[in-house]
Amino acid sequence: MGREIMKQTTGFKIQAEDRQSWGAITMVWIGAMICVPALMIGGMIGAGLSLESAAIAIIIGYALICILMSFMGMHACDTGLPTAVMAGGALGEMGAKYIISTILTISCVGWFGIQAAVCGSSFSSMVEGMSGFSIPVWLSSVVWGIVMLLTACFRFSGLKWLNKIAVPLLGIVLIYALITNLLSGNGAVLVGYQPAAPMSLVNGISLTVGSFVVAAAISGDYCRFAKNRKDVVKSSVLGVLPAGLIVLMLGGILAICTGSYDISVFLSTAGLPLLGLLALILATWTTNVSNAYSGGLALSVLLGQDEKKSQITTAISGVIGTVLAAVGILNAIQGFLSLLSAIVPALMGVMIADYWLIGKGKIENFKIRKGFYAPGMIAFVIGALIACMTGGTFATIPALSFLNIPFFISSINGIVAALVVYILLTKAFGRQDNP
């Protein structure tokens, strides 16, 4: 009954036949985990921690991510709604539409373009290195942007089939890269390894959390397809923890042994450029499809469209991202995109507080509020500000450097602050539900 009300009031609904097995959702998360940025984060952690400490930091970091994903995913599974719509419960319909949807649209579209540009640049470079044939970077970016976009337009079914093919192949490539690296004699440096520039365990955990916390915030876009809450938890844990540990540790090991975390570079220098190219394309593809899909959902909400129009808005999002990649202006706004990514996690604080703590996790207590809901908006802003203050966001802005107060894990700080402030304000002003 609750899901039908959500359909009538929001225009979004997951039909019974659209529900997916936990295994299908798990594969989507594994595909999202295996990417070059994750290998880079692993390289950074490996450069600052011993292998044992790195593994501990990664496990703790992704355990926190899994907890957040489970709460956000179960909420979405209950309601059948994407993140940008669910946010209307805590921020009000207008807050979700004009604030959250705008942030998610710009962030997802921007990162889609950046990933397409990186893939295009690497593809052109590697093809020229192997064959001597030069492909313009802009053309490679457009081609791969379109390929990724077409997959995203098939919504979850496109993600599911892509990852059924790509994840096993990526798994084989990762294992092969690790074995080749160790057999080449590079593994000797791992014996008794101690980092030259140590970092704290908390910093390692913070890097791990930061690598996937935005994905946790929008995990409802995918977990709404789950059959039940139990499947949400299983897919989140099994899709993130094992793959995340393997990918980040591999990035760390490659960085320690070869000086580069990039698996495609490693395979190319090992005399296997085609395998390196395959790894690069698949890793970017499986991650970037999610950017286009979530960006399309957020844009659909922003434009006042429903589930039926989300394929069109996904296409629009991907086209915009691809054009931006082709003209080469995305590097100029990467700092802005990083800022948006830093403030997104605070959204989870107000949403978890509203649905799970105030609403007791019951769909009958969940309402999309009219207009802007002040307690939610205030709590979100405070949480986002605290995340930026404690995460070094203001360190690069001279005029705001006095606000840089590094502490603990910035995204977790923002989530907890938003959650606490929301509960306090809601209790102070009373919970205002729409009639």
Residues 356-411 pLDDT 10s: 999 999 999 999 999 999 999 999 999 999 999 999 988 888 888 999 999 999 99
Which pLDDT score is estimated for 431?
63
| DSSP letters for 379-421 | HHHHHHHHHHHHTTGGGG-GGGGGG----S-HHHHHHHHHHHH
Question: How confident is residue 1, by pLDDT bands cut at 50, 70 and 90?
Answer: very low
Q: Both tokens of residue 116?
A: 């397409």
pLDDT tens across 132-178, in order? 899 999 999 999 999 999 999 887 888 888 888 888 888 888 788 78
Whether residue 435 has pLDDT greater than 50: no
Whether residue 269 has pLDDT greater than 80: no
For residues 204 and 267, the answer to whether their CB atoms sit within 8 Å is no
Burial class (CB in 10 A: 0-12, 13-18, 19+), 129: exposed
Q: What value does the mean pLDDT take over residues 329-343?
A: 79
For residues 415 and 349, the answer to whether their CB atoms sit within 8 Å is yes
Pairs from 399-408 (Cβ < 8 Å, separation ≥ 24): 408/202, 408/206
Higher pLDDT, 74 or 18: 74
pLDDT tens across 402-425, in order? 999 999 999 999 999 999 999 999
Which pLDDT score is estimated for 8?
46
CA–CA separation, 9 and 367 (whole Å) = 10
CA–CA separation, 27 and 162 (whole Å) = 9
pLDDT tens across 214-246, in order? 999 999 999 999 999 999 999 999 999 999 999
Which pLDDT score is estimated for 187?
79
Which pLDDT score is estimated for 6?
53
Which pLDDT score is estimated for 131?
87
Output the CA torsion 383→386→391→394 (10° steps): 120
Q: What value does the mean pLDDT take over residues 245-265?
A: 84
Q: Both tokens of residue 386?
A: 């605290």
CA–CA separation, 201 and 49 (whole Å) = 7
Output the CA torsion 384→353→68→92 (10° steps): -60
Give the list of residues 6+ apart from residue 378 with CB closer than 8 angstroms, or none.
421, 425
Q: What does the DSSP 8-state code read for residue 226? A: B
Mean pLDDT of the residues in the chain: 89
Which pLDDT score is estimated for 68?
98
Q: What value does the mean pLDDT take over residues 200-223?
A: 96
Give the burial string for 187-204 (b: 16+ CB within 10 Å, else e). eeeeeebebeeebeeebb
For residues 267 and 279, the answer to whether their CB atoms sit within 8 Å is yes
Q: What value does the mean pLDDT take over residues 28-44?
A: 90
Give the list of residues 6+ apart from residue 247 with CB closer than 8 angstroms, or none.
33, 34, 35, 38, 39, 42, 174
Q: What value does the mean pLDDT take over residues 89-99?
A: 96
* Proportion of the chain above pLDDT 90, given as a percent: 60
Higher pLDDT, 123 or 269: 123
Q: Both tokens of residue 339?
A: 């800022």
Q: What value does the mean pLDDT take over residues 76-83?
A: 95
Query: What is the value of pTM for the model shown?
Result: 0.91
Which pLDDT score is estimated for 433?
59
Q: What value does the mean pLDDT take over residues 68-73?
A: 98
Which pLDDT score is estimated for 196?
84
Q: Both tokens of residue 61?
A: 């970091």
Q: What value does the mean pLDDT take over residues 310-330?
A: 89
